[in-house]
Amino acid sequence: MPALWIAHVTVTDEEAYAKYAKLAGPAIAAHGGSFIARGGRFVQLEGKERPRNVVARFPDVETAEKCYHSDAYQEALSHARGASERELLIVETSD
């Protein structure tokens, strides 16, 4: 079943985070991921608000998790650490 990769982000260093974004997109695409939402308008109803929210669709949970642990994504992530506060989860869809 398809899966969604959902990230809630507060960027604290725009320059470093831009390096993350430049590398993360190709790493996600290489694992069959495609962006559904990327920093668009949102309404926070509960929980901690993060100004940047990203949703990517993957073929399944396992592929999304492999993407996260891949060398390419970990290289991208090295630029986000210290440049953002984030939560990231993978959730299987019902379709």
pLDDT 10s digits, 11-38: 999 999 999 999 999 999 999 999 999 9
Nearest CA among 72, 70, 64, 71 for reference residue 88: 64
Nearest CA among 56, 10, 15, 13 for reference residue 33: 56
Q: What is the pLDDT of residues 53-75, one digit of tens each?
A: 999 999 999 999 999 999 999 99
